[in-house]
């Protein structure tokens, strides 16, 4: 039996940012496609090695895995997976940003 999958935002503030993207229609469309892809296959992104985890994510979210989903125009969506036993996998969206901010966050 396949596991149920769902996608949530790491915080209310992040979810509100997503909801307020109305004026940035293309970014909202990119993120909706990413959410749909994550619902179909939570492992569709690129798994990042633990040595690259930003300390802020580890401290704030207590993560043990981190994934990157490439959005168009050099944007990135960062998420982690939470496994709810045999029943469900939850993709938790931590943030999205352009390539420049991505490089800053990950100290490239």
Beta bridge partners of 82: 90
Task: Please report which helix (H) or strand (E) contains residue 68, including its range.
Answer: strand 67-70
Q: What is the pTM of this model?
A: 0.91
> Tokens 């981190």 correspond to what residue?
66
d(CA 44, CA 69): 8
Looking at domain 4-105, does it have CATH number 3.40.50.300? no
Could you list the pLDDT tens digit for every one of the 108 residues in the chain? 578 999 999 999 999 999 988 766 899 999 999 999 999 999 999 999 999 999 999 999 999 999 999 999 999 999 999 988 778 999 999 999 999 999 999 987
Task: Note the pLDDT of residue 87.
Answer: 85
């Amino acid at each position: 039996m396949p596991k149920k999958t769902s996608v949530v935002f790491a915080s209310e503030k992040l979810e509100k940012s997503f909801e307020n993207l109305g004026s940035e229609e293309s970014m909202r469309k990119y993120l909706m496609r990413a959410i749909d892809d994550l619902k179909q296959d939570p492992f569709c992104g690129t798994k990042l090695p633990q040595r690259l985890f930003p300390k802020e994510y580890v401290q704030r979210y207590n993560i043990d895995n981190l994934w990157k989903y490439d959005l168009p125009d050099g944007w990135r969506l960062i998420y982690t997976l939470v496994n709810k036993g045999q029943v469900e996998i939850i993709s938790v969206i931590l943030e999205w940003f352009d390539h420049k901010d991505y490089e800053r966050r990950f100290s490239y």
